[in-house]
Amino acid sequence: MLIAKEKKKSNIAEYILYMWQVEDMLRAFGLDMDRVNENVVSRYNVDDQVKKSVYDWYENIIEIMKNEKVERVGHIQALRNTVDELTELHFFLLYKGFDSIYRGLIMEHAGSFVEYRKIAGVDDSVSDVELALQALYGVLMLRLQGKPISEQTEKAVSGFSRVIACLAARYKQKEEEESKNPEIM
């Protein structure tokens, strides 16, 4: 909860990846709040009130996962909505916002998107943004497991990382502008 709040404010892409990791961790604990409490919540070095908030947060995520039937695979709707927001911003920057830096990054790494889409066996129903996030998450998981990553994958993911970092920065900028000027929302 504490990390998620900070990441959501500072870097929306890191927030999504973190929350995907939280979902997988909760699945690994069988969506059992006793196990989550024992292995995660109890290890927080915070006062009892904050610990209770952290407990409630994990319990709420578990309930949402159960209600939305993503106990085994998939992501909760709030995260899918956030990915959709990033995808909308991606298209805006490419076709309406004419962000030359972002467009340049997309053009520079277009081949990696096409190639990775083929390798992953993913069709066009998955946006480039979601594809890049999935690739970043997959490499993160491989690294955590100490598994090797091919040079080709490293190169593609490096490009995806640059694209997503730029997109996340533009998202943060947009959020800050909207909070200063709520009438433009």
Distance CA 170, CA 93 (A): 9
pTM of the model: 0.91
Of the candidates 18, 106, 114, the residue with the CA atom closest to the CA atom of residue 61: 18
Q: How many residues does the chain have?
A: 185
- Mind listing the pLDDT tens digit for each residue in 75-101? 999 999 999 999 999 999 999 988 999
- Per-residue b or e along 60-76, where b marks 16 or more CB atoms closer than 10 Å to that residue's CB: ebbeebeeeebeeeebb
DSSP state of 133: H
In which region does residue 53 sit, left (phi positive, over 0), alpha (psi from -120 to 50) or beta (all else)? alpha
- Mind listing the pLDDT tens digit for each residue in 128-181? 999 999 999 999 999 999 999 999 889 999 999 999 999 999 999 999 888 887
